[in-house]
């Protein structure tokens, strides 16, 4: 920084204010300092600047998600990033890929970089390890999936209610043999959506058939394969409830392969790109990942700013969007 100051012909304090994006520095001086920074290829030492700050903040948070390439998590990520950028905070992001070991490794890496806080969509069953991995004052917010063994605010969709509403909708259109296809049963949201599916059936006096519940569908290809198998069995379902967007895509492919897309009803949990352009368009229980991301980021920044209230749970409502696939009636339905 001394070298930058000499070349820019300004004080060391001015260089510091420009580097830290402080206000009330004249545009001429900002230009001089940035020109000198570029000439010297200077990069600020974040660790050193943190030690100098009285609050010891790095102006950096971490966001750990299942898969940042998934449309749901990509939207959630953008919302968190927008909230952080408005505060001049950077976001470090990583994909966990349903790997418990990677979750812990990235949590350790975050500690090494002294992130001010962590937003996490958990993949492991127990987050008690965070007590030894994170600094004592590092707040954590769990998003999309609840955490266990470590205190933190939680931001969730109304998973049970949304799945129940999807099942009710199919029953209202004459279906009784409704299959449920979902992700790994170890994932809390997958279990909650199965609970909602079963609740919807039971409130209509329909006992769930376990042969119609297909779980552990970790990819579009596996979902497609299992749906194809389902329709080669005797007495196949007349409707599908797919409890995750990648599962929905696989199911759509299978139905189109079988030529059943206009005969078998389908409601998917979570929207996905181009769902409204298919024929028939896909009826979904839409989550609001943007609102979930904003809510998680705002909760985290409140904690960073000193909020010491007990951990809170924030529930983000889902919305049933009727587009056509969920309104198909079974062939044997009256009317």
pLDDT, residue 24, reads: 81
Question: Which alpha helices (H) appear in the chain, and where do they start and end?
Answer: 2-8, 12-19, 27-40, 46-52, 71-86, 100-112, 130-133, 159-172, 188-203, 220-230, 245-258, 289-304
Counted residue by residue, the chain has a size of 335
pLDDT, residue 304, reads: 95
Question: Which alpha helices (H) appear in 20-99, and where do they start and end?
Answer: 27-40, 46-52, 71-86
pLDDT, residue 52, reads: 45
Distance CA 250, CA 215 (A): 13
pLDDT, residue 146, reads: 94
283-286 vs 178-181, strand pairing mode: unpaired
Q: At 313, is the secondary structure helix, strand, or coil?
A: strand
pLDDT, residue 51, reads: 46
- Residue 194 — φ and ψ, nearest 5°? -65, -40
- Within 8 A by CB and 6+ apart from 30, the residues are 18
- Within 8 A by CB and 6+ apart from 119, the residues are 61, 62, 63, 64, 80, 140, 141, 142, 143, 296, 297, 300
State the Cα angle at 174 between 169 and 179, rounded to 5°: 70
DSSP code at position 212:
G
State the sign of the Cα–Cα–Cα–Cα dihedral 226, 265, 243, 197: negative
pLDDT digit of tens for each residue in the chain (335 aa)?
A: 888 889 888 898 898 888 877 778 888 898 998 898 888 877 665 555 544 454 567 899 999 999 999 889 999 999 999 999 999 999 999 999 989 999 999 988 887 788 999 999 999 999 999 998 887 789 999 999 999 999 999 999 999 999 999 999 999 999 999 999 999 888 999 999 999 999 999 999 999 999 999 999 989 999 999 999 999 999 999 999 999 999 999 999 999 999 999 999 999 999 998 999 999 999 999 999 999 999 999 999 999 999 999 999 999 999 999 999 999 999 866 55
Query: Which contiguous run of DSSP H or E holds residue 242?
Result: strand 239-242
């Amino acid at each position: 920084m001394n070298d930058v100051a000499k070349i820019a012909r300004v004080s060391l304090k001015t260089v510091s204010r420009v580097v830290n994006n402080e206000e009330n520095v004249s545009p001429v001086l900002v230009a001089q300092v940035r020109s000198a920074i570029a000439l010297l290829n200077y990069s600020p030492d974040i660790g050193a600047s943190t030690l100098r700050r009285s609050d010891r903040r790095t102006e950096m948070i971490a966001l750990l998600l299942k898969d940042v390439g998934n449309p749901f998590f990509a939207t959630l990520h953008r919302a968190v990033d927008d909230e952080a950028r408005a505060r001049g905070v950077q976001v470090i992001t990583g994909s966990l890929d349903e790997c418990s070991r990677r979750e812990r490794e990235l949590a350790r890496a975050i500690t090494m970089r002294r992130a001010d806080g962590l937003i996490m969509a958990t993949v492991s069953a127990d987050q008690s390890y965070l007590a030894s991995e994170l600094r004592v004052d590092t707040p954590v917010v769990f998003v999309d999936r609840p955490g266990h063994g470590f205190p933190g605010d939680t931001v969730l969709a109304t998973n049970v209610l949304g799945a129940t509403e999807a099942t009710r909708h199919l029953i209202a259109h004459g279906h009784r043999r409704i299959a449920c296809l979902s992700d790994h049963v170890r994932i809390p949201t997958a279990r909650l959506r199965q609970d909602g599916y079963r609740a919807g059936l039971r409130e209509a006096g329909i006992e769930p058939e376990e042969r119609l519940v297909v779980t552990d569908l970790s990819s579009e290809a596996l979902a497609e394969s299992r749906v194809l198998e389902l329709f080669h069995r005797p007495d196949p379902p007349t409707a599908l409830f797919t409890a995750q967007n990648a599962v929905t895509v696989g199911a759509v492919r299978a139905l189109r392969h079988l030529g059943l897309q206009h005969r078998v009803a389908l409601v998917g949990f979570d929207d996905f790109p181009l769902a409204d352009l298919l024929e028939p368009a896909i009826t979904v229980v839409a989550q609001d990942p943007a609102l979930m991301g904003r809510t998680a980021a705002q909760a985290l920044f409140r904690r960073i700013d000193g909020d010491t209230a007990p951990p809170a749970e924030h529930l983000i409502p889902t919305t049933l969007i009727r587009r056509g696939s969920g309104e198909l009636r079974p062939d044997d339905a009256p009317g």
